[in-house]
């Protein structure tokens, strides 16, 4: 399958995804992160990851060209997360799938400065609503992890399909 890793950062997820993918398209807004990720892939001998500089709200990926759109702890960095989800919908083949790992809404305001977070996570209902408005179906959400230590971040998982 062809996978888009959206907000790929240093590329760790891209390298893991590449092990079972035909091709991974890793997109990030930071040229520095793209270089770090590219270097890691070269050192690991992984050749099926393509790195692209771009914004998740205006993806440098053709419409209907990927099977899976993947956001791993990146959606909360989008200025307009609903636009990023609409872009993910655009690039997916009919029948394609989106997977989102992000944070449940929290009150750790320091994250804005420490991690350049635009959003302090999302509620399950807000994420479901944005996915629905972007055209996704079969939306499922869960909270698979809760940190026991402060600031007690919780991980939000969402999966959905683009209608075939």
CB 41 within 8 A of CB 68: no
What local confidence, expressed as pLDDT, does residue 108 receive? 84
Distance CA 132, CA 130 (A): 5
Q: What is the pLDDT of residue 115?
A: 80
3-class DSSP string for 139-159:
EEEEEEEECCCCCCCEEEEEE
All domains of the chain, ordered by start, with CATH? 2-162 (3.40.50.150)
- Specify the pLDDT at position 110: 87
- Write out pLDDT tens, residues 104-160: 999 888 888 888 889 899 999 999 999 999 999 999 999 999 999 999 999 999 999
Torsions phi, psi of 80, nearest 5?
Answer: -130, 85
Per-residue pLDDT tens digits for 37-95: 999 999 999 999 999 999 999 999 999 999 999 999 999 999 999 999 999 999 999 99
What is the reported pLDDT for 145?
95
Q: Is the pTM of this model over 0.75?
A: yes
Tokens of 136: 């996704």
């Amino acid at each position: 399958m062809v996978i888009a890793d959206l907000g790929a950062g240093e590329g760790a997820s891209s390298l893991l995804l590449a092990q079972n993918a035909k091709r991974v398209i890793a997109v990030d807004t930071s040229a520095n992160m793209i270089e770090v990720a590219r270097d890691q892939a070269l050192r690991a001998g992984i050749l099926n990851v393509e790195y692209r500089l771009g914004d998740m709200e205006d993806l440098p990926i053709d419409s209907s060209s990927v099977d899976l759109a993947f956001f791993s702890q990146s959606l909360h960095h989008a200025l307009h997360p609903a636009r990023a989800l609409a872009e993910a919908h655009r690039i997916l083949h009919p029948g394609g799938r989106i997977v989102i790992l992000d944070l449940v809404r929290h009150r750790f305001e320091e994250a804005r400065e420490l991690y350049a977070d635009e959003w302090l996570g999302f509620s399950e209902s807000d994420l479901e609503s944005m996915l629905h408005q972007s055209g996704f179906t079969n939306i499922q959400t869960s909270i698979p992890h809760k940190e026991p230590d402060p600031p007690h971040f919780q991980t939000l998982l969402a999966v959905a399909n683009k209608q075939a």
